[in-house]
Chains A and B, each alone.
Chain A
Amino acid sequence: MPRASVVGAGMTEFGPHDKTLSELFAEAALPAMADAGVERGDVDALFVGNTLGGTTENDTHLGPKLASHVGLAGVPTQRFEDACATSSNAFKHAVRAVESGPHDVVLVGGVERCTPETGLDTPEMTKAFVSAADRQYEQPAGITFPGVFGLLTKRHMHEYGTTEEQLARVAVKNHANGTLNPRAHFGKETDVESVLDSPLVADPFRLMDCCPFSDGASAVVVASEAFADSFDAPVDVTGIGHATDIVPIADKERLTATHSAREAASQAYEEAEIGADDVDFCELHDCFTGAEVLATEALGFFADGEGGPAAEAGRTELDGEIPINPSGGLKAKGHPIGATGTAQIVELTEQIRGEVGSRQVPEATTGLAHNLGGDTATTLVTVMEART
């Protein structure tokens, strides 16, 4: 099967930005186009992810607006919304579009504003986020997203003995990685005691177990196999998996399994003809520390129940056997919802090119991204590899 490649990447710093969605998107899209060396006329289509703009800013139909802002008015556009998995789904469709023929070069990215710069306070933004949970059978209970992952993680603790200290180690690691990433929302180290002493959000999660509300944008240029060779540093997309799971979470077969992640990983590994052991590093969806533990098990890095002990033993640190979230992850890099998926693709691209300086994973030739949306209802898993 012909393969797509990422030939250009760009992203903003994640954190508070007093800028419009269009302005933010341009700060990722124009550097991505410059990195690829493409201009108006070279780009066949724009695929873009944004989750909350309609709810929080009365701003929809973003495809042509963002295309106009970056000089691409006239190209076909498509806007995607899949909760926190929004822009990895946009990326998947860009990849499939260049693999199957309709386009040769696609600009794909995501943009979101979630901080108080939007004029919304924490309760208002928490309510906007929870629109991704079941409207009739979950939201009336007063659930939040820290609460959804709190329910899954408390069950994991009950079944396997996972501890709050093990969860805290995830936050400590991702904060340490974040200090090495100039685009990270948080650039400060923390320690287990500080995590455990931070205020409760939804037990077992304290403030320092949770990713922040961030603003930001990310974008990459995807090219078809026929075009990729003409670019300087193509990084190949060798496998993508995409699966969903039952909503509401109460009806899932196993609360701790994150089934959509297992199914998406299985698809991605099969397409890339690799296994979990072949992955050199991974960017995964650590919206909460417990989510990282569940994901490392679902992706096959550790057996069920071993994710917590593995984090505690340092096996997922930058110099561990499988570095997880070298960028700092959602926890430290930040989580502008619709921009997170393609930001993971930016990190995979730059790690595999060997461009990330002090957070570089040695011999990073195979990277995996795991982007999860809603109450573990959507997951996309992407495998990228160095061109050989």
Chain B
Amino acid sequence: MSESDPAVDRFLEGSDAGLTHTAWKRALREDVLLGEACADCGHRSGAPRAACVRCGSRELEPIALPTSGEVITETTIAVPPEGFDGPHTVAIVELDAARIMAGVEESVDIGDSVELVGVLERDDEPGPLFG
């Protein structure tokens, strides 16, 4: 493990607890995107897990992700689920090799640069909003 990052540590509940969803939510509500980096295969993810989704390693280091990145793919949803007003755009955004699903404020194209602008809140589950 590399040295801990104070910007990440302040959201964690203890040095050995790893990154919980509660910590991930608390950080997102302060405009900090947390994720994990696998010490074994190097995979970077924005969705905390107990083991690396690619290689199964438990050696996951909590990291702060950049708040700006590139649109990998996107769709404009005209028929939304209950609780959302359509149309709205959803994208896969790449943030320094970690990819996450996020809402996007306006229509975007693949390859566009976007940055974190806020948080979508539904049923106490926050989601990142880019623009």
Contacts and interface: CB of A to CB of B under 8 A. Distances in A.
A122 B86 CA distance: 13
Q: Which of B75, B76, B80 is the most central at the interface, judged by chain A CB atoms within 10 Å of its CB?
A: B75
13 contacts: A123-B83, A127-B82, A140-B125, A142-B122, A142-B127, A147-B90, A150-B75, A155-B110, A158-B73, A202-B77, A203-B75, A251-B45, A255-B73
B72 A137 contact: no
Q: Which 6 A-B pairs have the closest CB atoms?
A: A140-B127, A150-B75, A137-B47, A155-B73, A127-B81, A123-B82
A336 to B, nearest CB: 19
A246 interface: yes
Contact of B80 (A134, A142, A255): A142
Given A140-B122, A141-B101, A155-B72, A251 B53 contact: yes
Interface size band for B: 35 or more
A180 interface: no
A143 B53 contact: no
Contact of A123 (B21, B46, B80): B80
Nearest to A155: B73
A362 interface: no
B79 interface: yes
A136 interface: yes
Given A140-B126, A251-B47, A202 B73 contact: no
Contact of A136 (B43, B74, B125): B125
A127 to B, nearest CB: 4
A202 B103 CA distance: 14
Given A250-B46, A250-B47, A146 B81 contact: no
B100 interface: yes
Interface in A91-145: 122-124, 126-127, 130, 134-144
Interface of B: 21, 24, 43, 45-47, 53-54, 72-84, 87-88, 90-92, 99-103, 110, 120-122, 125-128
Given A141-B90, A142-B103, A136 B73 contact: no
Contacts of B99: 250-251
A141 B101 CA distance: 7
Contact of B72 (A199, A201, A248, A255): A255
B47 A144 contact: no
B80 A151 contact: no
A127 B125 CA distance: 15
A246 B75 contact: no
Contacts of A250: 45-47, 92, 99-101
A147 B78 CA distance: 9
Contacts of A144: 77, 79-81
B103 A141 contact: yes
Contacts of A229: none
A256 B91 CA distance: 15
Interface string A245-272: 0101111010100000000000000000
A249 B76 CA distance: 17
Interface in A191-220: 199-204
A242 interface: no
Contacts of A124: 82
Given A138-B101, A140-B120, A250-B46, A130 B81 contact: yes
Contacts of A134: 47, 101
B122 A151 contact: no
A4 B121 CA distance: 50
B101 A202 contact: no
Nearest to B49: A251
